[in-house]
Amino acid sequence: MEIKGFIQNSLLEWEGRISCVIFLPGCNFRCRYCHAGHLIQPNLLESIEEQQVLSYIKKQRDWLDGAVITGGEPTLHEYELLDLIREIKTLGLEVMIETNGSNPKWIEKLLKHHRIDAIAMDVKAPLEKEIYGKVIGVDFDVEIIRRSIAIILNNGIEHEFRITLLPGIVGVEEVKSIVKELKGAQTIAIQNFQPDNCLDKSMRSLTPFSAEQLDEMAEIAKPFAERVVVRGREQAALTSSRQ
Tell me if the pTM is above 0.85.
yes
- pLDDT tens-digit series, residues 113-167: 889 999 999 999 999 999 999 999 999 999 999 999 999 999 999 999 999 999 9
Average pLDDT, the chain: 92
CATH T-level topology, domain 5-242: TIM Barrel (3.20.20)
**Centroid of chain to Cα 63:** 24
Residue 33 sits at φ, ψ, to 5 deg, of -95, 5
Q: What is the mean pLDDT of residues 209-230?
A: 96
* Domain boundaries, given as residue ranges, for the chain: 5-242
